[in-house]
């Protein structure tokens, strides 16, 4: 498949090479900031940077929108696509119907629409993602494109699902808890240790064991530990008084503590 990427950020950095390794050809990468598309293109075989959203003369058949969710409509409104184009977005939350609607109102030519959502966390400039175990959640507005996307998905991953927009939105929200919030809590633990002259490294074995145990359990709730789980109120009070001058952390500590307590204390 001839493919163009719109956006050269975290996701495009990993997905574009994965498609290339599966034998597809990336023609163009669009990005507002040339250095971003240049950086991605330098890792691809034969792709060129594209400085505007006019793809009328593009040989590509598939256009991959890899821009922030809030930029999708604006990008779609300025996009000029060739005949017989398919377009997919990569968002966890935006319904397919939004993309179909935008193409219907903004595109001069008929465009088939789909979703290619990879349920993984991607950061550009990191080692290229091995997609084999990345769940791909796919959706399309017609059966032919659905089949094409499933074939492309199976070329790069062993875990390919046809998922409705509603199911994808639930998965994405769960992913925010599992991934984004977890990582944020790790970043806060980093701040707390280093601000007090302690090595974050001391926490690494604990973090590894926490994730290992949580993943091994049928339900991570079975292996919850800590003062909130035990209802050790004096320890909780001690921690909150240590956070007296840091209201943002204290607030988060209280919210997390009461969430754990509500799960276990009847
Ligand atoms: N990162 C992940 O872990 C992940 C996982 C699964 C799905 N996704 C999905 O992938 C999509 C892209 O996310 P990302 O993390 O790759 O985002 P990102 O790293 O912020 O990259 C976004 C790209 O879009 C461009 N862009 C931003 N605003 C734009 C606008 N108004 N008009 C045109 N281009 C614009 C940026 O342009 P410049 O280069 O010019 O600054 C950048 O190249 C999102 O829908 C997200 O939900 C991400």
Phi, psi of 59 (to 5 degrees): -80, -5
Q: Residue 176's Cα: distance from chain center in Å? A: 9
Backbone torsions φ then ψ of 118, nearest 5 degrees: -100, 120
Q: Find out whether the beta carbon of 10 lies less than 6 Å from any atom of ligand 1.
A: yes
User: What pLDDT is recorded for position 125?
Assistant: 87
Decide: 150 and 159 in contact? Cβ < 8 Å. no
Q: How many Å apart are CA 174 and CA 124, to the nearest integer?
A: 23
Tokens of 129: 């993602």
Tell me the mean pLDDT per 10 residues along the chain, length 266. Answer: 97 97 97 96 96 96 98 98 97 98 96 98 90 97 98 98 98 98 98 97 98 98 97 97 97 98 88
Q: How far is the CA of 215 from the centre of ligand 1 (A)?
A: 29
105 CA to middle of ligand 1, Å?
23
Please tell me the distance between residue 110's alpha carbon and the centre of ligand 1 in angstroms.
25
- Asked whether 118 lines ligand 1 (CB < 6 A), one says yes
Q: What is the pTM of this model?
A: 0.94
Q: Could you tell which of 32, 78, 94, 136 is best to mutate to test the pocket of ligand 1, judged by most ligand atoms within 8 Å of the CB?
A: 32
Q: What whole-number distance in Å separates Cα of residue 214 and Cα of residue 223?
A: 7
DSSP helix/strand/coil, 80: strand
**Ligand 1: does its nearest atom lie under 6 Å from the Cβ of 90?**
yes
Write down the pLDDT at residue 136. 98
Strands 62-65, 136-140: pairing kind: unpaired
Distance 68 CA to ligand 1 centre (A): 4
Domains of the chain (ranges; CATH) run 2-163 (3.40.50.720), 169-264 (1.10.1040.20)
In whole angstroms, give the CA distance from residue 227 to residue 241.
15
CA end-to-end distance (rounded Å), the chain: 57
């Amino acid at each position: 498949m001839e493919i163009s990427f719109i956006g050269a950020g975290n996701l495009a950095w990993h997905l574009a090479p994965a498609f290339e390794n599966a034998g597809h050809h990336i023609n163009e990468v669009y990005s507002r900031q040339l250095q971003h598309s240049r950086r991605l293109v330098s890792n691809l075989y034969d792709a060129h940077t594209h400085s505007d959203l006019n793809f009328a003369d593009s040989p590509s058949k598939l256009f991959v929108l890899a821009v922030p969710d809030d930029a999708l409509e604006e990008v779609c409104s300025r996009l000029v696509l060739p005949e017989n184009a398919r377009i997919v977005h990569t968002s966890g939350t935006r319904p397919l119907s939004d993309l179909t609607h935008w193409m219907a109102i903004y595109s001069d030519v008929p465009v088939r629409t789909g979703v290619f959502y990879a349920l993984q966390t991607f950061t550009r400039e990191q080692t290229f993602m091995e997609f084999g175990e990345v769940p791909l959640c796919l959706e399309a507005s017609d059966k032919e494109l659905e089949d094409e996307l499933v074939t492309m998905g199976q070329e790069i991953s062993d875990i390919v699902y046809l998922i409705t927009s509603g199911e994808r939105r639930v998965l994405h929200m769960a992913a925010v808890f599992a991934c984004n919030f977890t990582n944020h809590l790790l970043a806060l633990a980093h701040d707390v240790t280093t601000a007090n002259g302690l090595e974050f490294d001391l926490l690494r074995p604990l973090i590894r064991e926490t994730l290992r145990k949580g993943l091994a359990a049928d339900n991570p709730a079975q292996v919850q530990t800590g003062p909130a789980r035990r209802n050790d109120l004096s320890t909780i009070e001690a921690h909150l008084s240590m956070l007296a001058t840091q209201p943002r952390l204290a607030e988060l500590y209280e919210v997390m503590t009461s969430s754990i307590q509500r799960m276990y204390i009847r």
